[in-house]
Chain A
Amino acid sequence: MLSVTLANRILASRMDDAHDKGQRTKLQLVAGGASGAAPAGNEPADEALLAAFLVGDDDAFGELVRRNERLVLSILRRYTRAPEDARDLAQRTFLRAFTAARRALRRDAQGAFPFRRWVTRIAVNLAKNHLRNERRFERARLESFGPAEVAPVGADELLRAERARRMRAEVLRLPRRQREVLTLRIDAELPFADIADVLGITENAAKVTFHHGARRLRDVLRGEETP
């Protein structure tokens, strides 16, 4: 990928410039997450791809989307009633992230833009707004959100599918912070450190919030089991 090389050169020259000006080179961590999309081996980092995209490399753009789409869709699936809605929200998420990246890097060319963290945060916010709008304007029931189970066969599977549907509705009834932490963990499978980073809280707070959410779900399940 020619432009990625170009982008890497741009980054390197920026670092050289900073060094020449006597500035201390900043060590910047770009959140990679643990859900299998972090660059491995010789793959360029998100930041390099972003820089390549900003100098006009369309391939870098596609690679960035492909690398993060699984994460974004896993967040959005729970909050939408149809896969088309999840796809449209994912598209909006990436467009907003690219617009924000362009603006941020124009303002501070040497600053870091942790693309993955931004994309996650934007997806969480768009999902929350979408859920609120669907509930307010469409009067949608919480049970209708999320992907449908593959057609259950037999009474046991039917019962389990019904319980799962109600439990997923309970997830959406959780207080906002509990819901965000819980879904980022069980849907997006992010480590608690990344969840804390995305939501701007401490890792310990993320774990405790998750615990409260999980306990609430357990209470609901117990209530259903005891007639």
Chain B
Amino acid sequence: MTTTQGPCRENELALSLRAAGALDGDDAARLEAHLVLCPACRAEADAVQAALGLAKLPPVSESERRVFDGLADRTRTALRRSSRVRWMAKRAAAAVLTAAAAAAIVLAPAVLRRDARAPAGAQETWQPDLDTLWSDASVVDLDGSTTTDGTSAAYADGAGLDADDADAPLTALDQ
């Protein structure tokens, strides 16, 4: 069970927990009984205890206590300050947004009017002749009875076609 090299393998974890004061009940009783019999485990228990004892922080000194005193009040003050800053930031953001909205309402008509005036220059360069526009947009009358400017009637007579163009469909129709 015991070795000359080190503690019993099965007790290593329990020895660390014992040093941390986290071993109780049956486990603690069993380990204590074992430690009486096993010098290697006893040495290990002492070594871990010593290491943790050195690693542990000393108790809070008087000078530290003086610094730590009033932590609650300081934190409360800081919290109030941060809440106030957050509230002021929200108010500032709301004010900026309101001002921006008001400016938009006031300036929008002027800007829109200027925009409406801007294409006027373009209109000067493009002045279509309404008659031409109307004739360009007219649809060829299918029965050829009504025309706006005689063009469709001419097409109906075949006059609007070149000789080659006119022959081809007529020949095809004849056949």
Give the B-binding residues of A (Cβ under 8 A): 58, 61-62, 65-66, 69, 73-74, 77-78, 83-84, 86-87, 90-91, 94-95, 98, 146-147, 149-150, 160, 163-164, 167-168, 170-171, 182, 185-187, 191-192, 207-208, 210-211, 214-215, 217-218, 220-222
Contacts and interface: CB of A to CB of B under 8 A. Distances in A.
28 contacts: A65-B72, A73-B68, A77-B57, A77-B64, A83-B64, A83-B68, A84-B67, A86-B64, A87-B71, A87-B74, A91-B71, A91-B74, A94-B75, A95-B82, A146-B57, A147-B60, A150-B58, A163-B54, A186-B57, A210-B20, A214-B20, A214-B52, A215-B12, A217-B51, A218-B44, A218-B48, A221-B47, A221-B50
Interface of B: 12-13, 16-17, 19-20, 22, 44, 47-48, 50-52, 54-58, 60-61, 63-64, 67-68, 71-76, 78-79, 82
Which interface residue of B20, B48, B63, B82 has the most chain A CB atoms within 10 A? B20
Contacts of A191: 22
Nearest to A186: B56
B68 to A, nearest CB: 6
B79 A61 contact: yes
B16 A214 contact: yes
Contacts of A91: 71, 74-75, 78
A147 B55 contact: no
A62 B22 CA distance: 32
Given A62-B73, A91-B75, A210-B16, A182 B55 contact: yes
B13 to A, nearest CB: 5
Given A185-B20, A214-B20, A65 B71 contact: yes
Contacts of A74: 57
Contacts of B52: 186, 214, 217
Nearest to A77: B57
A222 B47 contact: yes
A217 B74 contact: no
Contacts of A149: 58
A95 B64 contact: no
B22 A185 contact: yes
A74 B73 CA distance: 19
Contacts of A78: 57
Contacts of A77: 57, 60, 64
A66 B73 CA distance: 10
A58 B79 CA distance: 11
Nearest to B74: A91
